[in-house]
Chain A
Amino acid sequence: MGAVIEPQSSGTPDEAVIVASNLWKSFGSTVALAGFSLEVRRGEIQVIMGPSGCGKSVLLKHLVGLVKPDRGEVLVFGQPVHAMSDHELDALRIRIGVVFQSAALFDSLTVAQNVAFPLRRHRTLSKEEIAHRVRELLLLVEMAGTEDLMPAALSGGMRKRVGIARALALDPPLILYDEPTSGLDPLTAHTVDDLVLRLRAELGVSSVVVTHSLDSAFRLADHLAVMDSGRLTTSGTPEEILASTNPFVRRFLDTRAIEVRPK
């Protein structure tokens, strides 16, 4: 199929939550992004797939301004992330939830304090209101009752779910997931996938999910992008990707299929 889409930055900001155009980024002599472009529409789940080291995580960091591109631009909610001051970025970041690959819970704080962290800093709520909201969020990710545990006492899957609860605390209209199901057992991975789907269905949250799990990718995606060496190889609906004749995409899909089949 000829569905190699190169999104243009001319996409209307009304429709597009994220417009990344022609992003370039190198770290020393390593090129992480080489002219990457992508558009994510409101209420959609955009999955980005690709082998390790293809630049997926670096791309996510560009979307929240943790890393600035050498060239190119990133618009999130129509705002130029690549050119914003720290102060402006903070205002934008409150509207973006980020789920880190390692969950990145603060290990000096309890589960409840972690989830409450964004609420304490960016909302003026009473103690009871915060506790109530924390309970609600933990219930949502099926982690109720773990309030007083320290992150070190949790398994990887539990930590990830607490990380999701923390990312959801401020009701962000956009959530970025960095490998949300990597390192999880298939059952927990399923739960996390369901949660991503539910948030879209119930709250209309837009999501970008970076993953190398084909399973998750095809369950979640409204749109799929396949990345290789810092470039967008192919993008389209899951059906279009499955039908893709691009040799890299085929190879990527095939290797995974072999890994999955024996189960």
Chain B
Amino acid sequence: MREDPSDARGSRSPIAALGSTVLRGLSELGQATLMLAAALRWMLRGRLEIRETLVQLNRIGVESIPVVLITGAFAGMVLAFQTARQLADFGGQGFVGGLVGLSIAREAAPVFTAITAAGRVGAGMAAEIGTMAVTEQVDALRVLATDPVRYLVVPRLIAAALALPILTAFANVVGGTGGYVVATAAGISGGAFLSSLQRFLWPYDLVVGLIKAVFFGLIIASVGCYRGLHATGGADGVGRATTGAVVVAIVLILIFNYFLDLIFF
């Protein structure tokens, strides 16, 4: 499924290639699980790197706000644009606010925010840690009796798990506002939009959206860190780790999104 140019042993039979891909996938899954287990042990022991976590929180959270505001606003606007047009044909103006609000809170805000963050933050983590790995800095950490999982992975996991729901909340607000503006411009009255919103959108929807965002944050950080720590082969390897991190994170976000929906709704 994943493309790995380092695996140029493609001259074998397709079945062998498939087999080796599956095996590699499983072994990576195993290693990633071990990394997360180690991270969890550090968290449970309460041995946290406060400074590093704050640095990451700033990088993942604060610095992502502008781009999340833009994607969130436009996601809300396009939803309102389509919903208002489609429903107006059936005389369903009273449903526009609710539908837009629900779509934003449950799906659009958490998923678009996560995908944006995967591109911005996940790639950044893979590139930064990957560069450290190929320039012996990760080895240097180990030799200085500092577990890279504790020093590099745990702060990023925590920061991403905290930042993503907050960013998603921002996306909810700007998405809703953008939706309101576009819907009223398309002829839906402001009062109808808001009362519909009130009727259909429950706090539960907002909360589940934020909970999903926590999972997405964990996915982005684990994939970014794992890919970075296992980067090999100089700049080329870092490049591959970076693109790999983004693609895998986005795919996992969409898959998890579906199953989380099954659980929560």
| Interface positions of A (Cβ within 8 A of B) | 61, 64, 66, 86, 89-91, 93-94, 96, 98, 100-102, 104-108, 117-118, 121-122, 166
Residues in A whose Cβ lies below 8 Å from that of B8 = none
Choose from B131, B143, B145 the contact partner of A66 (Cβ within 8 Å). Answer: B143
List 8 other contacts, CB 8 Å, given A98-B143, A102-B136, A117-B144.
A93-B145, A94-B145, A96-B143, A100-B140, A102-B135, A106-B140, A106-B141, A121-B144
Choose from A91, A93, A101, A108 the contact partner of B144 (Cβ within 8 Å). Answer: A93
Task: Name the distance in Å between A104's Cβ and chain B's nearest Cβ.
Answer: 4
Choose from B135, B137, B147 the contact partner of A86 (Cβ within 8 Å). Answer: B147
Choose from A93, A101, A118, A166 the contact partner of B142 (Cβ within 8 Å). Answer: A93
Choose from A91, A93, A106 the contact partner of B143 (Cβ within 8 Å). Answer: A93
Residues in A whose Cβ lies below 8 Å from that of B137 = 104-107
**B contact patch SS:** helix
The 7 closest A-B pairs by CB, nearest first: A104-B136, A104-B140, A90-B145, A98-B143, A93-B145, A100-B136, A118-B144
Interchain CB contact under 8 A, A61 and B139? yes
Residues in B whose Cβ lies below 8 Å from that of A94 = 145
Task: Name the distance in Å between A48's Cβ and chain B's nearest Cβ.
Answer: 18
A158 to B135, CA, bound (A): 16
B132-157 near A? 1/0 per residue, CB < 8 Å: 10011101111111110000000000
Residue ID in chain A nearest B140 by CB atoms? A104
Categorize the interface residue count of chain B.
10 to 19
- Offer 11 A-B interface pairs, CB within 8 angstroms, sorted by A: A61-B139, A66-B143, A93-B144, A100-B140, A102-B135, A104-B135, A106-B137, A106-B140, A106-B141, A121-B145, A166-B144
Which chain B residues numbered 97 to 150 have a C-beta less than 8 Å away from chain A?
128, 131-132, 135-137, 139-147
Task: Name the distance in Å between A29's Cβ and chain B's nearest Cβ.
Answer: 12
Residues in B whose Cβ lies below 8 Å from that of A107 = 131, 135, 137
Residues in A whose Cβ lies below 8 Å from that of B145 = 89-91, 93-94, 118, 121-122
| Interface positions of B (Cβ within 8 A of A) | 128, 131-132, 135-137, 139-147
Task: Name the distance in Å between A211's Cβ and chain B's nearest Cβ.
Answer: 17
Task: Name the distance in Å between A42's Cβ and chain B's nearest Cβ.
Answer: 21
Residues in B whose Cβ lies below 8 Å from that of A104 = 135-137, 139-140
Centre residue among A102, A104, A117, A118 by max chain B CB count within 10 A: A104
Task: Name the distance in Å between A99's Cβ and chain B's nearest Cβ.
Answer: 10
Task: Name the distance in Å between A81's Cβ and chain B's nearest Cβ.
Answer: 12
Interchain CB contact under 8 A, B140 and A98? yes
A155 to B146, CA, bound (A): 26
A9 to B50, CA, bound (A): 44
A64 to B137, CA, bound (A): 15
Residues in B whose Cβ lies below 8 Å from that of A100 = 136, 139-140
Centre residue among B128, B131, B142 by max chain A CB count within 10 A: B142
Residue ID in chain A nearest B51 by CB atoms? A120
Task: Name the distance in Å between B17's Cβ and chain A's nearest Cβ.
Answer: 18
Task: Name the distance in Å between A246's Cβ and chain B's nearest Cβ.
Answer: 32
Residues in A whose Cβ lies below 8 Å from that of B147 = 86, 90
Residues in A whose Cβ lies below 8 Å from that of B143 = 64, 66, 93, 96, 98
Task: Name the distance in Å between B107's Cβ and chain A's nearest Cβ.
Answer: 36
A24 to B37, CA, bound (A): 30
A117 to B135, CA, bound (A): 18
A262 to B128, CA, bound (A): 44
Residues in A whose Cβ lies below 8 Å from that of B146 = 117, 121
Task: Name the distance in Å between B39's Cβ and chain A's nearest Cβ.
Answer: 14
A93 to B140, CA, bound (A): 11
A98 to B141, CA, bound (A): 11
Centre residue among B132, B141, B143 by max chain A CB count within 10 A: B143
Interchain CB contact under 8 A, A66 and B140? no
Residues in B whose Cβ lies below 8 Å from that of A89 = 145
Residues in B whose Cβ lies below 8 Å from that of A106 = 132, 137, 140-141
Task: Name the distance in Å between A1's Cβ and chain B's nearest Cβ.
Answer: 36
